[in-house]
Structure 1
Amino acid sequence: MPLWGIDLGGTKIEGVILESASDTKVISRLRIDTEADQGYEHILDRIVLLVQKLSAESGLTPATLGIGTPGTLDPITQTLKNSNTTCMNGKPFKKDLEAKLGFPIALANDANCFALAEARLGAAKRVMPDAEVVFGVIMGTGVGGGLVVHGKVINGRQGNGGEWGHIFLDESGGPCYCGQTGCVETVIAGPSLQRYYESISGKKATLKEIVKSYEAGNDPHAQATIKRLLEMFGKGISVIINIIDPDIIVMGGGVSNIDLLYTEGIAEASKHIFNTKLDTIFLKAELGDSAGVFGAAMLVG
C-alpha cells in the first residue's frame, strides 16, 4: 500500500508518496510554499491543496497520511504546542485537518520524523537494521531529538518524547525561550556557540569560521568555543545514554557536521556514562532534507 507523508515547515510544505513500507520508491514528490503569514486556516488549506496536487499527479487517493509538524500535538489537550509557526499553537490541528481532508492522519513532530526515517531507511538501517532503540539528534539553529523504539516513534505522555534540547545542561547558557534556564539548546546550538564566541572575543563569527579558526590553531577564543561544545555535548548526550541506552544515535543539523563530535565529543560522553565502556554507535544522518517527509510517511507504514 502506498504511504503518504507531509513535512510541514514554516516556509514550505513537502509531500511524498512512497510505494510501500518495504519499497521506498518515490511515486510522487512535490513542494509548495506554506504562506504561514496568512494564518492558521490558510496553512490547513495549503496542506489540502498539496494533497490534491499529489493525488492529481499520481492518480492515487489517500486513505490516511502521516504529517511531521513544527511543535507537538499535546496528547491530553489535543492542541499543538511549541511550534515556531506561532499561529498554530493552541489549535486542534489534527482534528481540524482531518475534518478538511475527510480521513484520519498520524502526527509527529519533525525531530521524531527525522529519527524514524534514519532508523527505518537511513543510517541506522544501514548499520544495524535490527536496532531496538534509535535516538535522533538534531543540532543546528536549535537542538531537538526523537526517540524510536522497535521502529515506532515514542511521543510520550506529554508529547515531548526525545526533546533533549530542553533538559538542563549548564547555567551559563542563560535564559531559554521555553522559559527555563541553561537548556542544552542555549549551550550547544549553532547560534548559542556563536554568542559564546562573541562574548569572549568581542568579535562576531559564523560557526564555520569558528571551526576553521579552531583547526588553524591561531585563535584561543575559537579553541575555547569548540572545547565548550565538545565538553557540553558529552555531558548532555550522556544523560540520554544513561536513561534510554540507545543502540544508535543518529545526528543531523549543521552543528552535527563538526567531525570532532564523533571522536572527542564521544570521548567526553564516555566520562559521564554509567558503564565502563561506551558502546553506543554514533552516526551522521544520511537522508538529508528527505528525512522529514520520508519519516512522516513512515508514521502510517
Structure 2
Amino acid sequence: MSYAIGIDIGGTKTAIGLVNSEGQVLAKTSLPTDQTLLPSEMVDRIAEAVNGLLNDKGLQPSDLLGIGIGAPGPLNTKLGIIAEPPNMRGWWGFPVVAAFKKHFSSEIVFENDATAAALAEKWVGAAQAAEHFIYITVSTGIGAGIYSHGKLITGATGNAGDIGHMAIDPAAGTCVCGQQGCLEFVASGTAIARSASELLGRSITSKEAFDLAFSGQDGRMEEIVNRAFRYIGIGCVSLINTFDPELLVIGGGVSQVGAPMFDAVSDYIKRYALNPSGRDTQLVPAALQQDAGLIGAAALIHIPYSF
C-alpha cells in the first residue's frame, strides 16, 4: 500500500489528509487559514499537522509517495506560486511549493483546487466512468475542473476552469475582479447571501435564504434563489457548448440544497444547450463533497500509480 498527503488550502480553512492508493482517507485534520499570519508561518503549521498525522499512523515522511497541494486561483503551477486569489490577498505571489520543500523531501505537486477535486471525482467519485466531464463547485465562490479525452485540462499556468469569472449578466453589478456580472458574483453562495441580506435589511446566510425560499413564505426570496439557479444553468450551457462533456458533476455548499437546484439547472440545459445531444448531458451531484479537495490533492500524486 502506498500513501500520499493531500493538502487543500482555502481562504478560511486548510484540510489535510493521509490518503492511500485506493483513495481512502486514512486520517485527516483541518486548520483555520489564519490570514493574519505570514503564508510561510501558515505553511509551518500545516507541515506540523502533516507530521502529526504521520506520527499517529506510525509513518515517516519517507514513507510517502509525495504531497499534493490544491489552492484557489489565480495561481501559477509552472512556477509553484499562488498568484492573486481575491480572498487570499496576503498570499499573493507566495512560492507555496518552495515553502513546503523546506519541510519535506518528497515529490510535491500543485494544482488549482477545483482541478484537483475533478481528479478526485474521476478517481473514486461520481465521474469514474466518464472520459469527458466537468466538475463544478458552487460554494463561497465558483470554479471548475475540466477532464477531457482522458486527461485534465489545466491550461498554460494551471488556471483553466476559472468559470466563476465568466461574465453572465453585466447589468448585475461589479465583481471583485472588476468585471461586470461574473457567474461567481451572481450565483455563488456568497452572492445569494448578499442579495438576500440586501433585500431583508439584515445579514443572513445562504442557508437561511434557501430555507426562506423553500418554505414558501417569502416569494422575494424564492425569486433570488431561482435567479441564481438560472445563472448556474447559463454557466452550464456555456460549458456544454464549449467543451461537449458527457457529464457535469456539481459539488460545493450550494449543491447541498439538492433536487431544487439540480432540477432547475437540468431544465435549463434541456431548453438551451445548442446541440441536441448536449441537452441530454447528465448532471449529477459530487460524490466526495467535503473530502474532494484533499482526496484530489492526494490523487495528483497517486494517479500515475493507479491508472
What is the TM-score normalised by the length of structure 2?
Answer: 0.85
1:158 Cα deviation from its structure 2 partner: 3.4
Give yes or no for the alignment of 1:90 onto 2:89.
no
2:8 and 2:212 map into 1 onto residues whose CA distance is 36
CA RMSD, 1 decimal: 2.5
1:133 Cα deviation from its structure 2 partner: 1.8
Counterpart pick for 1:114 among 104, 114, 117: 117
Aligned residues of 2:229 and 2:264 also touching (Cα < 8 A)? yes
C-alpha distance 207-50 of structure 1, shift in aligned 2 (>3 A) = closer
1:177 Cα deviation from its structure 2 partner: 0.9
2:158 and 2:211 map into 1 onto residues whose CA distance is 38
User: AA paired with 1:138?
Assistant: T
User: AA paired with 1:48?
Assistant: A
Q: Name the counterpart of 1:294.
A: 295
Q: Which runs of 5+ in 2 are unaligned?
A: 303-307
1:222 aligns to what SS in structure 2?
A: helix
C-alpha distance 42-195 of structure 1, shift in aligned 2 (>3 A) = closer
2:147 aligns to what SS in structure 1?
A: strand
User: AA paired with 2:266?
Assistant: I
1:203 and 1:46 map into 2 onto residues whose CA distance is 36
2:301 aligns to what SS in structure 1?
A: coil
1:17 Cα deviation from its structure 2 partner: 2.4
Give yes or no for the alignment of 1:80 onto 2:71.
no
Aligned residues of 1:72 and 1:108 also touching (Cα < 8 A)? no
1:41-84 deviations in whole A, cap 9, x for unaligned?
21221232233223323324224211112334314654312332
User: AA paired with 1:43?
Assistant: M
1:191 Cα deviation from its structure 2 partner: 2.7
User: AA paired with 1:87?
Assistant: G
How many residues are treated as equivalent by the alignment?
295
Matches within 5 A, 1:127-138: 129=129, 131-138=130-137
1:115-174 deviations in whole A, cap 9, x for unaligned?
22122211223xxx2x11221111122212112235643221132111111101001331
Q: Which runs of 5+ in 1 are unaligned?
A: none
Aligned residues of 2:3 and 2:19 also touching (Cα < 8 A)? yes
Matches within 5 A, 1:1-301: 1-20=2-21, 23-58=22-57, 59-60=59-60, 61=62, 62-75=64-77, 78-83=80-85, 84-125=87-128, 129=129, 131-149=130-148, 152-198=151-197, 205-258=204-257, 259-277=259-277, 278-301=279-302
1:183-219 deviations in whole A, cap 9, x for unaligned?
0011111232233345566666543344344334443
What is the TM-score normalised by the length of structure 1?
Answer: 0.87
1:230-255 deviations in whole A, cap 9, x for unaligned?
32222111111111122221111222
